[in-house]
Structure 1
Amino acid sequence: MVHGQGTRVGFYSASCPQAEFIVQLTVAAHFQSDPAIARGLLRMHFHDCFVRGCDASIFINGTSTEKTTTPNSLLKGYDAIDDAKSQIEDVCPGWSLALIFLPWPPVMLWF
């Protein structure tokens, strides 16, 4: 299980050097159209980490998953995550959604 241990700005510089920049640009674009996205992404990070550690389980689709529970289904930001993931997969095929979620707090501080 991934718990986000050891992640930091620059963590993906060897595996996908553009990842953090893509995430930053994607969040900035979503923030421009809806500033509340920042609050939503921070809440999403909290909800993911609170249950069983920071494992990105909040993004698993299905009928009985963390994503579909009432508090989590109302979170703002899933579209920004999906957008960033899609853009990163174009540049770095095989990219894990668990990996994309971990650097969001430092990215949020770049605003």
Structure 2
Amino acid sequence: MAAALAQGQGTRVGFYSYTCPYVESIVKETVTAHFNSNPTIAPGLLRMHFHDCFVRGCDASDLITGSSTERTAGPNSLLRGYEIIDDAKTRLEAACPGMVSCADIRALAVMPPNPI
């Protein structure tokens, strides 16, 4: 995400204030709930974010499921935290259908004040 922000792009607090005003609280609640049940998930989320954003940009292409996708590629095969992003996406689709991308959800999940 640092690379994206350096180019003037990327998610920031308040980005969805008009289109989905509760996005940050929904992501925070989701991350906190998962973290409270399994604190070891924090490094998994950070690693997943790193694998996507610091290699080729934050496009969340490693979240796509399938037999020959980035998700199943060797370097990504041991990533953890997919269920948190999926859970947040489900909740956000109920609140704001079609508004928030998975890449933005993941970026928000690793931003302060989340518990990781």
- The TM-score bracket by the shorter chain reads 0.7 to 0.9
Residues 65 and 51 (structure 1), Cα distance of their counterparts in 2 relative to 1, 3 Å cut: farther
Give runs of aligned pairs for residues 22-61 of structure 1, distance below 5 A. Answer: 22-61=26-65
How many residue pairs match? The answer is 108
Q: Which runs of 4+ in 1 moved over 6 A?
A: none
Q: Match for 2:111 among 98, 102, 106?
A: 106
Which structure 1 residue ranges, 5 or more long, are not aligned? none
Counterparts of 2:48 and 2:10 in 1: how far apart (Å)?
20
Give the residue type in structure 2 aligned to 1:44.
M
Task: Check if 1:88 corresponds to 2:84.
Answer: no
Q: TM-score, normalised by structure 2?
A: 0.83
Given that 2:31 and 2:114 are in contact with CA atoms closer than 8 Å, whether structure 1 keeps it comes out as no
Given that 1:57 and 1:66 are in contact with CA atoms closer than 8 Å, whether structure 2 keeps it comes out as yes
Given that 1:9 and 1:106 are in contact with CA atoms closer than 8 Å, whether structure 2 keeps it comes out as no
Name the Cα RMSD after superposition. Answer: 1.7
Which structure 2 residue ranges, 5 or more long, are not aligned? none
